[in-house]
Each structure stands twice: as structure tokens, then as C-alpha cells.
Chain A
Amino acid sequence: MTLAEKTIAYEREELLTGCQAVAQAVRLADVDVIAAYPIRPYTEVMDNLSRIIADGQLDAEYIVADSEHSQFEIVKHASSVGARAFAGSSGTGWMYGFEALVVTATDRLPVLFLVGNRALDDPGAFGVEHNDALAIRDMGWLLCWATTAQEALEHVLIGYRVAEDPRVRMPMALALDGAFLTHSQHMVRVPAAETVRRFLPPFDLGDRRLHPDNPISIAPQVNEDWVMELRRQNWEAARRARRVIEQAYREFNELFGERYGTPFFDEYMTDDAEVVLVGLGTVAMPARTAVRRLREHGHRVGYVNLRWFRPFPGPELRASLARFRAVGVIDRDFAHGSPDDGGVLLHEVRSCLYPLPERPQVLNFLTGLGGRDISIDDVTSMYEQTLAAGRGRALEPAVRWIGVREEAARGVPEERRP
């Protein structure tokens, strides 16, 4: 008898937005301390959590902070005394609390944060862009994207499980595309609390728990005497996280049914593919639809939906992408002045491919910035360009803008105008 046969994995189906799904997961994770400060699109998470607590469905401290910086410091300190803590933010709010985010990672406190991806002001914009969450990529955080409300719910649970593992103990950022995921209502299966408890044991910080009975001092001034060794420890933790993530998915699949094939990324119709696109977040929806339609016309294309950005699945992604003639990397972010002026994901993927003796051609598409939609036609065009590159044609430029108004090509179709 397997574990799944002994348990009820999902107890009911509810209509939930991405934000509401995250709030339900925080309830299921039995979080102890929540700190809140509003910024769209994250706000709906804190709204729903306050209601869940008011309705008596969750017993947690709910602290409304005076800013994101305080909000993030509150959960950091709560975590240090052994509380399972949750916070979230978006865009510039997330950036405002950045100092607290960095120390949370250095202090190895496994708080879970929801990042509702939002363009960084200025200029004012509510829509999705990934630079907010990506800014944390070098700071010792776990960073992962969900593409559906169901995945969002489940990755709060997987996130705590990985973050709190004694081999890891790193903060976790779960990113959801603003609007397209945070504010879209879908039918979501809500796991049974009993099964969640089996998957996610109580948080135990062990001998690092700050308590009068356990006198310790966290983060004193150490200067050059200790910093490098601390960095090495955190480097090792990020390396160890990969195996912990794999184990977490294995056990999640055992308890909740075969939800996830591979932990770090999903492949769609890649078996015989000539070229693939790689992307993060909800662009998977138009991309997979474009794949199905292009295949009806005989084009061998596939899609790789990258889920975990930190730790980056270097060997796994390298092995996967080595099979294709060309790879198009979709960046819903920017990295101005970077090598070839491509996006953040381009550099990660290209660097990951470098050790291969024979590398696929790599193109980069900068698109969907500031919340602009990425249509099925946009993705189809990216596939056509990547197919051409795979056949050795039209390799330059390596970095291409999709869906930007350009004076030179001013024939913008009317339906695409804002």
C-alpha cells in the first residue's frame, strides 16, 4: 500500500484566484506569523489571510507593518524564534524592503514570501515583469515560479518543506505573474489538512532557535574574520537545496498523486523537438498553445517551462537543452547593458549551456514587459525565428524585442494597440 492510498489528497474544489490559492496554502501550512503591507497585486493575499484568520480558520499573529522594510524584518525575527512566518510583496514594495531580504538569507531564516510580479516604477505600472523577484537571485534565496493557481497553492507547501529542511534553511520566494495569475479565478483543488501535515512537518529551527533557554547571538559584527566562511556555508546550502527539492517533489507526488514529472522544469512536447522556447511563468499558456498549433502544421517544436530559478538546475537543464538545434529564451525582464544586452534568463541559460561540446543556437526574446500581453501569435513568431536559427539562418541579432512599438516598423496591428 502506498502512502497515497492511505490518505485523501484533495478534499474539495474551490474557485480561487492565484492570490487566494496562496492564502489557502498559508492556512494549510498552519503559519504562525504573518506580516502585511499592501501593494498590488500582492494585496489580495493579505486581504484573504486577514479574513481567514477572522473566520477562525487559522490561528496566527497578523501584523500590519508600517512599510515593507518593517514587514520583512518582522517575519525575519519571527522566524528566528521558531515561528513559521509568511510575508509577501510586489514590485517597488519588494525593493523597498531589500535590505531586510538580504539579511534574512544571510541569517538562514526560512521565511516564505509571495512575490506578485509587478513592473518596477517608474513609470507607474501594475502589470507583470520579473525584475522584482529576479533581483534576489544572488542573495541566497530559493526562487521559484508557479504558472497556475493550483501550482501556486502547492508550491507554498513545497516551498516551506524545502526552505525549512535543516540541510537548506534558506528563505523562499514564490513568484506569481501579476494579473495573469494573481487575479485570475480558476477551479483549484484544495489539499486535505491531514495530508498536508504529513508532507510538511512542524518548523523546527533546532539549536538556532532564539530563546531565553537557548542563549545565542545572531549576526554580530564579524568583518573579514568570518564573512568568507559564512558565504561558503550559504553556498553549500544552495547546492544542497537541489537534492532536497527533488526529495520534496518525490514525497509530494506520493501523497498527492503524480502531480509533477520533474521538479525544476516541465517539458512540453519536447521528445522529437527540433527547437524549444524556455520561459518563466504564465507565458507557458500561450507558448504551449502555440506548440500544439505549430505541430498541426508539422513543425517539431516544444516548450520548457522553467520553475526553479534558484537554485538553478544547471546539469538538468543542460542535459535537456543539449538535444535541440536551437533554444529561444523568453525574458519578461531586462538586464540593460549585460552581455549582448539580453535578459536575465538568457544569461543563465547560455551560461548553463557553455560546457557542452556542441551547443544549440540561442536566441533571446524580450517581451511582455510592464504587463503587456504576450499573444499566441507573438509566441508563434518566436518559434518561427528559433526554427530559422536552428537551421542556421537569421542568427543575428541574438536579442530581439517582441511586441514593442517601433517607429521603423510602424505597422502595428490595431488590436495590439493599447
Chain B
Amino acid sequence: MIKRVEINYRGIYQKTLARRIGSDLVLIASRLGKVAFSNGRYSDAPERDGIPCKYFVFVSPDLPEEELEAECGAKLDIDVADVSIVLDDTMVKGVEPWAWHGVRPINEKVSADGCLLVVTRREPTQLLAFIAAKPHPYRLATLEGDASLSGLWVFKDDLTHERVLGAVAAVDPGIVTIDAVADYLADEGREPRRAEAARTAHAATVQRIRPVAPDAGISWTYAIPELPAWDAFGEGVAVPGVERRSELGPGGQARNAGFPRGTTKTERPVVRFDLCTRCTLCWLECPDGCFDPTADEYYDVAYAYCTGCGKCAAVCPVKECIVMVDELRFEDTASPWAAYRRDPAAYLAWAEGKKGPERRSYAHITGTGVEVRPAPAVRARRTRKEVATR
């Protein structure tokens, strides 16, 4: 019998956190007399900012180590997971680690009776609004918390690591038991609050496991590109480039549909077109070329390709014109400019609704966390007379 755990995390910020969780699960399982090992999905590039990556843990009570290694260690990815941990809840919108993978559902690997364990402050029903329906039942558990940056050593240790260990024991005691987790965390030299955090998270998670019925969730289509056979593509490592295209309007710029990279983002820029001075800075500075010039000299945003880096919001000289907003507040990647052109007043109301009354800014100083301020008051401007074509 093999228990397979995958830890979905965001590149660089959570790399060390994910690995620590993986290492500790191995050590705790070993103390329980089981055979275990862990590794990361090697094809990932976890140094890339925000990229969805995976860490794996494999535990067996009865297999010899070499058999476990042959079954799990000599493979690049897993087929099924008993527990899929999600350390950043914005990943429920899908994960795309590399080109030619497709945007995969977060619960793709969760087995029947397996559990998707999400660190989040949202309710399960809110998450299921983004998660793919599966043909079989599974379980969804939530562990209350924010996407932790504690694995990046310059940030404060926030006990997410210990709490996730406790939650894993809650959703599948066949991997580790809460007593074993607590004993391990209470070992000599460690503060008692670590074991306490795990026990508290365990007790809370037990109450927060819910069954997910077959077909609950959204319909999800993702195309895994079929890669060509060796005798069906050009020689010399030459691959066809993206066809050049530069037209005005949404989607007018040619982009690589084989790797949109949009699942990298945790926030997206919301644009108040009425405040825009058409200074071009967002379009010039966007590292991913996500802004499409329009005939009336605005810049539409190709959200499917936006990685959420926030540079546009940082360079925009107009207060409140571009604001980064939590990705989970959005249902689709439709063109904001098209919506604005259809009904400016409705668009502006929608945009302000998404932005909400608070603005968050992330600290540049170690350990000081997130600053939340009320949104500054900005008077709505009259929509200028649009230039249909120039």
C-alpha cells in the first residue's frame, strides 16, 4: 500500500515551506515505522516567481524502500494523490507549471476518497465555484489561513508548516497520526507552541472536511497539447514561432497560446479606463506584453496571459487607475475594455465592487506583513468622447 501526497505551492515564496512539510512528513512516517521519501517535481522551475509547483511525499507501511522508489521515485509526476495540499488558494483556478502542460485543475490527481486540503479563508462552496467537477466523489478540507510566505527565510515563521502537518493527520491518519505529529514537534529544543498549533489545526480540520459529490464543481476543459513524434517535426531544435500579429483591440497582439502562464498570478490589475491618461506606461512596462492597444488609445488587458506581477499598477501615475485585486474575486478572463465600451457606468461599478473598500500593500521590510488601508476617494470622471477609429 502506498500513500501519495502532493503539495501544490507557488514558486520561490513557498518552495522551502513545501519542502519542509514534505521532509517532516517523511520523518514522522519513519518514526511510525513506515518507509517514506519525498521529492519535488523536477521539471518544475520553482525559482520562478509565483509559478505553480509540486512537492511529493510517498509513504508505505509494507513495501520495501526500493519498491516504493521504483513505483514513485523514478517518475516525474504522480497519477493519483491521496492528499493534494494547496498552500495558496488562488491555485484552485488551475495550475500550469510549464508550456505544453495545459491549465490543469487543482484536483486533477485527487483519488476517489482522496482529499483536497486547501489553506484558505474562504468557504468550501466559494472554492468549488472554481474547481473542476470530478467523475468520482472525493473530500475537500479547508485549513484557515493565508498563503504563507514563511518558507522564504526573510519572512516571519507563522506556524503554517506545523498547522498543515496537523491537517494532514486529520484528513488521512494513514499517512501520519496527530499524536506522532505532535510528538515529533514537541521533541527536545522546540517550542511547545509548534505541537499546539498542529493539534489545534488538526481539531479544526476534522470539523472542516466535507464530501464532494461526483460532478460537483465546474465543467473544466483543458487541452494537453499532443506533442509531435520524432519523425513529425523539423530538425535542429527549430520550433515554429508565434505568428506575428499586431492589431488594435482585445487579443490583437499575437501571444503563445501554448503557455499563457496566467495561473502564476494571485492578483490581477483592474483598470479604471475613465481615469486613464493614455500615458502608455502599463503597455510599455508589462514584462509579459499583456496590454493590447485599442483604437481609442486605451490598453486592454489579456488576463489569461497576465502573471500578476503588479508592475503596471506600480508604474501607473494615476491614483486608483490600476489596482491589483485578489484573483479569486474574478470568474473569467474576459476583456475589461470591451466591458467598459459596452456600458461604462456598469463597468466602473463592477470594477469598484471588485476592488472593494480596502487597498493592500506588501511590505518591503522583513516581517512587517501586509498593510491594509482604506481606498482613497477618487471622483469618477466623465467618460470622454471615444475615438472609434483613428
- Fill in one digit per residue for B38-72: 1 if any A CB lies within 8 Å of its CB, else 0: 11101100000000000000000000011101110
Is residue A126 within 8 Å, beta carbon to beta carbon, of the partner chain? yes
Q: Is there a chain A Cβ closer than 8 Å to B377's Cβ? A: no
Point out the residues of chain B lying under 8 angstroms from A179, CB to CB: 39, 42, 76
B22 at the binding interface (Cβ < 8 Å): yes
Distance A413 CA – B230 CA, assembled complex (angstroms): 16
Contact check, B70 vs A285: say whether CB atoms are below 8 A apart. Answer: yes
Distance A376 CA – B67 CA, assembled complex (angstroms): 10
Known: A289-B66, A289-B70. A183 touches B26 (CB 8 A): no
Which of A154-162, A209-217, A401-409 binds B?
Answer: A401-409
Bound CA–CA A373/B39 (angstroms): 14
Pairs A–B under 8 Å by Cβ, sample size 7: A15-B23, A185-B22, A285-B73, A371-B76, A374-B74, A375-B74, A410-B229
CA distance A180 to B30 in the complex (A): 20
| Residue of A whose beta carbon sits closest to that of B57 | A185
A236 smallest CB distance to B (angstroms): 39
- Chain A residues, CB < 8 A from B226: 417
For A15, A183, A376, the residue with the greatest tally of chain B CB atoms inside 10 Å of its CB is: A15
What is the bound-complex CA distance between A292 and B69, given in angstroms? 14
- Per the bound structure, the CA–CA distance linking A15 and B101 in Å amounts to 31
The listed residue (A15, A17, A126, A404) touching B230 by CB distance below 8 A is A404
B37 contacts the other chain (CB 8 A): yes
- A289 CA to B100 CA, complexed, in Å: 31
In the complex, are the beta carbons of B40 and A289 less than 8 A apart?
Answer: no
- Known: A183-B39, A407-B230; 4 extra A-B contacts, CB below 8 A, are A15-B27, A41-B42, A183-B42, A285-B70
- Whether a CB of chain A sits under 8 angstroms from the CB of B234 is no
Q: With A15-B23, A186-B37, A187-B30 in contact, is A417–B224 under 8 Å at CB?
A: yes
Nearest CB in chain A to that of B26: its residue: A15
Whether B40 lies near A282 (C-beta < 8 A) is: no
In the complex, the answer to whether A373 meets B227 with C-beta atoms within 8 Å is: no
Smallest CB–CB gap between B364 and chain A, Å? 26
Which residues of chain B are near A417, meaning CB under 8 Å?
224, 226-227
Tell me whether A185 and B38 are in contact (CB under 8 A): yes
CB distance from A196 to the nearest CB of B (A): 24
Q: Which residues of A contact B237 (CB under 8 A)?
A: 122-123
Identify the closest chain B residue to A406 (Cβ): B229
Q: Which residues of A contact B227 (CB under 8 A)?
A: 405, 417-418
Taking the nearest CB of chain B, how far is it from the CB of A383, in angstroms?
A: 14
A415 beta carbon closer than 8 Å to chain B: yes
Judge whether A286 is part of the interface by a CB distance below 8 angstroms: yes
Interface positions, chain B 73-124, Cβ under 8 Å from A, are 73-76, 79, 100-101
Interface assignment of B231: CB less than 8 Å from any CB of chain A: yes
Please determine whether A407 and B231 come into contact, CB atoms closer than 8 angstroms.
yes
Q: Are B70 and A184 in contact (CB under 8 A)?
A: no
Determine if A184 and B73 form an interchain contact, defined as CB atoms under 8 angstroms apart.
yes
- CB closest residue in chain B, given A285: B70
Given A123-B237, A288-B66, A417-B224, also A185-B37 (CB < 8 A) = yes
Residues of B with C-beta under 8 A to A289: 66-67, 70-71
| B229 A407 Cβ-Cβ under 8 A | yes
**A127 at interface (Cβ–Cβ under 8 A)?**
yes
Decide if B66 touches A407 in the complex (CB within 8 Å): no
Interface flag for A140 (CB, 8 Å): no
Are B70 and A185 neighbours in the complex by a CB distance under 8 Å?
A: no
Tell which of A371, A376, A404 touches B71, judged by Cβ atoms closer than 8 Å. Answer: A376
- Specify which chain A residues have a CB less than 8 angstroms from the CB of B135 in the assembled complex: none
On chain A, the residues within 8 Å of B230 by CB distance are 404-407
A395 to chain B, nearest CB (A): 24
Interface residue range, chain A: 35 or more
How far apart are A375's CB and chain B's nearest CB, in angstroms?
7
Chain B CB within 8 A of A178 CB: yes
B353 at the interface (CB under 8 A from A): no
Q: A15-B23, A405-B230, A406-B229 are in contact. Are A126 and B42 (CB under 8 A)?
A: yes
Query: Are B75 and A418 touching (Cβ within 8 A)?
Result: no
Chain B interface, >50% SS class: mixed
Task: Give the chain A neighbours of B228 by CB distance below 8 A.
Answer: 405, 407
**Complex: how many Å from CA A122 to CA B237?**
7
- The verdict on B154 contacting chain A, using a C-beta distance below 8 Å, is no
Q: Enumerate chain B residues within 8 angstroms of A415, measured Cβ to Cβ.
A: 79
Given known A-B contacts A373-B75, A407-B232, A408-B231, A288 and B38 have beta carbons under 8 A apart: no
Interfacial residues of chain A within 120-160, with CB under 8 A of chain B in the complex: 122-123, 126-127
- Of A178, A185, A187, the contact of B42 (CB 8 Å cutoff): A178
Give the distance in Å from the alpha carbon of A127 to the alpha carbon of B76 in the complex: 10
CB-defined contacts of A185 to chain B, threshold 8 Å: 22-23, 26, 37-39
Residues on the A chain within 8 Å of B42, using CB: 41, 126-127, 178-180, 183, 371
Q: Give B144 Cβ to nearest chain A Cβ, in Å.
A: 29
Contact B43 A288 (CB under 8 A): no
Within 8 A of A (CB), among B4-49: 22-23, 26-27, 30, 37-40, 42-43
The interface residues of chain B lying within 8 Å CB-to-CB of A41 are 42
Write out the residue numbers on chain B whose beta carbons fall within 8 Å of the beta carbon of A282. Answer: 73-74
Measured CB to CB, the closest approach of chain A to B121, in angstroms, equals 31
Q: Which residues of B contact A292 (CB under 8 A)?
A: 67
Q: State the Cβ distance, A165 to closest chain B Cβ, in Å.
A: 32
Q: Shortest Cβ distance from A151 into chain B, in angstroms?
A: 12
Docked pose: A304 CA to B27 CA in angstroms: 32
Report chain B residues within 8 Å CB of A418. Answer: 100-101, 227
- Residues of chain B within 8 A (CB-CB) of A283 are 74
CB distance from A185 to the nearest CB of B (A): 5
- The interface bits of chain A over 184-212 (1 if a CB of B lies within 8 angstroms of the residue's CB, else 0) are 11110000000000000000000000000
Residue of A nearest to B39 (CB): A184
Chain A residues with Cβ below 8 Å from B23 are 15, 185
Please report the C-alpha to C-alpha distance between residue A283 and residue B100 in the assembled complex, in whole angstroms: 26
CB distance from A365 to the nearest CB of B (A): 15
Which residue of B26, B76, B79 has the most chain A CB atoms within 10 A of its CB atom? B76
A404 neighbours in B (Cβ, 8 Å): 230
B241-283 at interface with A (beta carbon < 8 Å): none
Q: Which residues of B contact A408 (CB under 8 A)?
A: 229, 231
Q: Which of B22, B43, B74, B101 counts the most chain A CB atoms within 10 A?
A: B74
A305 to B314, CA, bound (A): 57
A288 B76 Cβ-Cβ under 8 A: no
CB distance from B145 to the nearest CB of A (A): 25
Question: Complex Cα distance A98/B188, Å?
Answer: 49
Q: Scan residues 185-204 of chain B and give those whose CB is less than 8 A from a CB of chain A.
A: none
Nearest B residue to A184, CB-CB: B39
Report the separation of the CA atoms of residues A185 and B75 in the bound assembly, to the nearest whole angstrom. Answer: 14
In whole angstroms, what is the CA distance A59 to B355 when docked?
Answer: 55
Could you mark each residue 218-241 of chain B with 1 if its beta carbon is under 8 Å from any beta carbon of chain A, else 0? 000000101111111000010000
Contact assessment for B37 and A184 in the assembled complex, using a CB-CB cutoff below 8 Å? yes
Q: Which residue of A lies closest to B224 (CB)?
A: A417
Which residues of chain A (278-323) have a CB below 8 Å from chain B?
Answer: 282-283, 285-286, 288-289, 292
Q: Are B37 and A288 in touch, CB under 8 angstroms?
A: no
